[in-house]
Chain A
Amino acid sequence: MILNKRIIRELKENWVRYGALAFLIIFSLGLVVSMAGSTDVVNYTIDKNNEKNQLEDGEFSVYVPLTENQQQELEKMGARTEAAFYVELSGPEKSVLRIFKNRNSINTIELEEGRLADQRGEIVLEKHYAEKHGIRVGQSIEVNQKNYQVTGIGTAPDYSNVVQNVSDVLADLKQFSIGFVSEVEFNQLLAEDINVEYNYSYKLDGNLTASELKEKLVDLDFDKTKVTDFINKNMDYQYVNLIIFLEADDNQRITSCKSDAAINKNSALIAGMIIITLIAYMISVFVIHTIDKESAVIGALYSMGYVKKELLRHFMILPMLVVTVSAMLGTGLGFLLIGENIKENVAYYSYPGYTMVFPPYLLIYGVLIPVLIALLVNYTVINSKLSLAPLKLLRREKKQLQLANIDLKEMGFINRYRIRQLLREIRGNITMFFGLFIAILLMVFGFSIYGSISAYVNNVASDVEYNYLYLLKYPMETAPNDVTKAYTESLTADLYLTGSEMDVTVQGIDDENPYFDFPLDGEKNEVIISDSVANKFGYKVGDEITLSDNLADRNYNFTVKEVVDFASGLYIFMDIKDMRELFGQKDDYYNTLMSDQELDIEAGRIATVITVDKMVAAARQMFTMMYGLVITILGASVLLFAIVMYLLVKMMIDKSAFSISLIKVFGYNEREIKKLYLGTTFYTVALTTLIAIPASKMIINKIYPYMVSNVSAGMNATMSPQSYLIMVAVILSAYAIVNFMVGRHLKKISRQRF
């Protein structure tokens, strides 16, 4: 159809408009597809690696190692186990290396370079640790005052998130990692009387469930003669050999990489759809503007015998062309940017070099869905516009909105004119409202991530008053001076956000504890929860909460007495006496020491050391990791804001070109014309800002907990007053720039038009 020749010319004439829209589509789809694509690449790489290296179904640790017979018995029942004993040794720059012996059949090592350690004095290091310490294959490393030759660098599937404790908020890749030595070397380490953690990995063959295995492990007898004196003194034999039982699905060392990526992906896919719908609608608004402008021509074509189907097809081509080409380019760009996008994930999580995959659904998402949205939106809008009778089109008759006839009584002329102009262009203004709303929503999201992490960093530093917290495996007969004793238990609570469970730390403290200043009196089952727990689980004062000890299959009910500020981790506090009684411990039992100074305690006794410096450093690391995302979101929001506003305001000015020309002829000066025609934009921008900022904050408050659901800390979407001010300043600046640009366009409208 020869009529279609005008499409390319229309595109050329309005290249700024369509170019800007195409840019928005390419930019947003590029971001979305690269985010979702990188998630898929991560998932694919991890799944492939897990399969290749026989990822465990779970792990458990015991006080006394299982006998060979017990292992065989378990295997017969359907649970293949492999010892994954480890010792923790000091490495360079005060780091801690968790050393395992080479693995044979579960969680095997994936080497990126070199070979496995098979001689004494050889070691394989986890790749990020090696990189952070600048160690290469062939070099040596001093571990526990002994030199080891690094024979290989690689990863292990059960440590894709290299955290020391499964409840840690973040990994510190320089300070903690894993290494693998030969069996001979490992046995030598054990012979040196280094405290060992008897950990096992297991794989189920389908005949046994995890809970059946756990029950079996609880029932297994163990050789009490091998238990050390300490344990003999401090343990009651009603206790079982099993210390920890952790299924792979509950192990954040294994799951958090994929779940982290999944949250990013879902958020990106939803945001992408919203933006594409907005852009598709914007394009239809421009097409309608073209149809309005060419109304008489369309009427003439109808008069000549063109039918609606033909014109509809014709007017659909340009928006569909713009969306299709941009969607293809955006998706292509997204695929190209996967490597860039995945960098942060690769730098943080530990898995082998990724394999690029191009999942077909992303092609459907990136190309087909935008095209379908554009088709639906444009078809609906253009079809309705072309359904006007030919004569009405010829006479340029438009449906007059009842709203535009609103009685404005005695209002001043300028304001009356502005309001009428606003109502005449209500479609453009509503589109602008939604466009700016989405831009502001993105802005609030960016500032909220920034605020949330800043607040977390600051609160961790200010809420935690001790410098060192030692979690002991076994209490000491005589505790050092100047320490504060406490009792800590790890329980789980149901997390409504994910439908799964999350570890919480219940800490028994006494009234003399100098690091906490809240009173502990009250009923025996009353607890004081940290604001972090309150945020994470949605608990309030007076709530009855249930925490579970999965190992003992026991539930504990507590009543929330108070919520206190404590940002780090997920802590619940109670009176130490009540807690000892509740968990059946002796009157003077403790397993936690808090101190201002570093304590000299033998390594084997310590389960975990938490230092405020490390906590703050980890929180800062989170800040660094998220910084790129925050900048991208804020940049995208400002761009979206400015482009949407510029295009729509310019279009509204173009639509009013005739009356502007007339007003110029009447003698109105530029300032007055700006007031009449651009003043309405200010109303829309001001109204949108007033509505969108609080509404966006409410929306982000609701969705943010889901986005950080796998972080073991309660983080709120926080925005500081300065952030609000910056946001308003950004909005006003963008408005001023657009106003200036459109003002120049306004000047160019000739008096001759009239």
Chain B
Amino acid sequence: MFIEVNDIKKSYGEGGSYVQVLKGVSTGIQKGQICAILGPSGSGKSTLLNTIGGLDTIDSGSIKISNIEITRLNPKELSLYRRNLLGFIFQFYNLVPNLTVKENIQVCEYLTKTPLDINELLEVLGLTEHQKKFPSQLSGGQQQRCAIARALIKNPELLLCDEPTGALDYQASREILKLIEKINKKYGTTMLIVTHNTAIKEMVHRVIKIKDGQISEDYANTVLKPASQLEW
């Protein structure tokens, strides 16, 4: 397994404000798969994504990514882990406002010695004509495409997407999903997508549903529906 999550528990707060967000979650994802994590707000799906991304710690359990036990890494090693293995896509893009599209992508190109070809990436993501624009000059969909390019330029083994279509309209969301599908096929990137959009479950290899801090459903799709045919 590329991702191995074993009995992880995570809680916040103390006393009256104590909340256990993850109550012993275990799962595994194979390399090259797209996995959707679904669930209602507060179910713990983003926390699961963040712990896998080394952005949040756990109380107990183990998380192995590409055979690395990331729960034992110190902050410096976690930075290196994220630098070498991960790409992140966020709901609100988080682009550097005073850098152009191309420069935003180059910000992450700097982090690796073996980046993908930036011009090819711009082409794949339909950003060639926008490469000199600043984020404020782009639509939401274009900004998210830029964020995806930024995450992909490092050619990460694992792409973590937190509500990648959450801030987008229907059409833009569909375009983004089509891109995710395309990238997975083209670069073989393993992807973990946290989403509220249940339609996504039909285009991914694995679906994990979380409810109240526990996995309520975990299954693999044998037939995948192309993103272009998704309706919601």
Contact = CB atoms under 8 A, between A and B. Distances in A.
Interface of A: 1-3, 5-6, 9-10, 13, 294, 296-297, 299-307, 389-391, 394
Contact of B55 (A10, A306, A391): A391
A15 to B, nearest CB: 13
Which of A10, A297, A299, A307 has the largest count of B CB atoms less than 10 A from its CB?
A297
Nearest to A387: B75
A469 B76 CA distance: 84
A155 to B, nearest CB: 60
A394 B107 contact: no
A6 B96 contact: yes
B159 to A, nearest CB: 11
A320 B211 CA distance: 50
B137 to A, nearest CB: 14
A300 B106 contact: no
Contacts of B107: 2-3, 301, 304
A390 B76 CA distance: 12
Contacts of B2: none
Given A2-B106, A390-B55, A391-B55, A294 B96 contact: yes
Contacts of A394: 55, 90, 94
Given A305-B83, A307-B76, A3 B50 contact: no
Given A294-B97, A300-B88, 16 more contacts: A2-B107, A2-B110, A6-B103, A296-B90, A297-B97, A300-B90, A302-B82, A303-B82, A304-B83, A304-B107, A304-B111, A304-B151, A305-B79, A305-B86, A305-B154, A306-B111
A297 B151 CA distance: 13
B1 interface: no
Contact of A2 (B56, B82, B84, B99): B99
Interface string B81-95: 111101110101011
B155 to A, nearest CB: 13
A9 B94 CA distance: 18
Contacts of B4: none
A296 B110 contact: no
B53 interface: yes
Given A2-B109, A3-B110, A391-B55, A304 B154 contact: yes
A238 to B, nearest CB: 89
A312 to B, nearest CB: 13
Contact of B82 (A10, A13, A297, A305): A305
* Most chain A CB atoms below 10 A, which of B82, B95, B96, B103: B96
A13 B98 contact: yes
A303 B88 contact: yes
B80 interface: yes
A303 B154 contact: no
A305 B160 CA distance: 13
B202 to A, nearest CB: 28
A363 to B, nearest CB: 34
Nearest to B82: A305
B201 to A, nearest CB: 25
A2 B79 contact: no
Contacts of B109: 2
A675 to B, nearest CB: 31
Contacts of A3: 96, 99, 107, 110
B58 interface: no
Nearest to A298: B94
A299 B79 CA distance: 12
A3 B97 CA distance: 11
A304 B96 CA distance: 13
Given A2-B106, A2-B110, A391-B55, A302 B98 contact: no
Interface string B132-153: 0000000000000000001100
Contact of B108 (A9, A302, A304): A304
B51 to A, nearest CB: 10
B56 A391 contact: yes
A13 B98 CA distance: 9
Contacts of B88: 300, 303-304
A303 B111 contact: no
Contacts of A389: 55
A562 B181 CA distance: 98
A5 B103 contact: yes
Nearest to B105: A2
Contacts of A294: 96-97
A389 B75 CA distance: 10
B95 A297 contact: yes
Given A2-B107, A296-B92, A305 B98 contact: no
Contacts of A300: 88, 90, 94
Contacts of B81: 305
B68 to A, nearest CB: 14
A1 B108 CA distance: 10
A306 B90 CA distance: 16
